[in-house]
Structure 1
Amino acid sequence: MFKHILIPTDGSPLSERAVDQGLRLAAEVQARATLLTVTDPYHLTDSWPLVGADEYAEYARRQGEGRLASGAALARTLGVLCDRLVVEHETPYAAIIDAATSQGCDLIAMASHGRRGISAVILGSTTQQALTHTRIPVLVLR
């Protein structure tokens, strides 16, 4: 069935539940997994005017690694071979697709972050955009 599952997370409770489900699926089908989190790039105009790009990059990397820590621990417990990626990218869905492609993943297992109202119409969700732009199967978890 599936041999390598990409499991992106943003650290939210729904996303963490999807990490748990995705890793349990990987254990069940004896697949390896790659946990991914996407950090925002440094922008001088953002709320970081007193912090340089290098300091911000280190902070973002640490935050990203923190988001992946519990998933990596669960993977070890389940006996799932698991890599971790922290990627800086402007567009999370594109980073997810790029990582799935470059890592040779044959499934993306991710949380459904449903939006409501006008924001759903205007922005869409990262999950919806990934579904729209990839040929790799996407398992949407709730």
Structure 2
Amino acid sequence: MFKRILLPTDGSELSMKAVRLGVDLAKSCGASVLAIHVVPPAQTIAYVAEMIASLEFDYAKEATRHAERYLDVVRTIADKAGVPFERRLVFGSQPYQAILETAAEAKCDLIAMASHGWEGVARLLMGSETHKVILKSEIPILVCR
């Protein structure tokens, strides 16, 4: 049925629920999984160029550390299920676009993702990445609530 399932994660509880569902499906189909975490750029307003560069470096370093932790959790879930696993950490201003590009490049035939990620102001600023993926995807999307 499916051969390669893309698992976008933002580290939220709901995205981890979608990861577990995707891994279970992969196991039942004999598929592999590819976990992806997209780090959006730091949105800073500052007056001094050196300050901006320092803030961006610190943000990228911290965001990478968090992303690696999220992807390690997915690896653990996949390993326990005996499902082949790969990971990607992508920096991009449009997470939905990075998800779709990764799915195409990696020849994924399903994307399993949460219906929404983080709540509150972050969601208002970013919009619904899942909704954008659904609207633009050429492959099936399994949405977990």
Per the TM alignment, residue 69 of structure 1 is displaced from its structure 2 partner at its CA by 1.3
Cα distance in 1 for partners of 2:43, 2:135 equals 28
For residue 41 of structure 2, give the secondary structure of its aligned residue in structure 1.
coil
Distance change >3 Å, CA 3–CA 76, structure 1 → 2: same
- Comparing 49-58 and 105-114, the one that deviates more: 49-58
Cα distance in 1 for partners of 2:135, 2:126 equals 13
The match for 1:21 is: 21
Give the counterpart of 1:83 among 81, 86, 100: 86
The match for 1:8 is: 8
The match for 1:117 is: none
Aligned-CA RMSD value: 2.7
Per the TM alignment, residue 54 of structure 1 is displaced from its structure 2 partner at its CA by 3.8
The match for 2:104 is: 101
Per the TM alignment, residue 92 of structure 1 is displaced from its structure 2 partner at its CA by 1.0
For residue 59 of structure 2, give the secondary structure of its aligned residue in structure 1.
helix
Letter paired with 2:94 = T
For residue 10 of structure 2, give the secondary structure of its aligned residue in structure 1.
coil
TM-score by length of 2: 0.83
Give the counterpart of 1:111 among 114, 123, 141: 114
Paired residue total? 138
For residue 51 of structure 1, give the secondary structure of its aligned residue in structure 2.
helix
Cα distance in 1 for partners of 2:11, 2:35 equals 11
Per the TM alignment, residue 113 of structure 1 is displaced from its structure 2 partner at its CA by 1.4
Extract unaligned runs of 5+ from structure 1.
Answer: 115-119
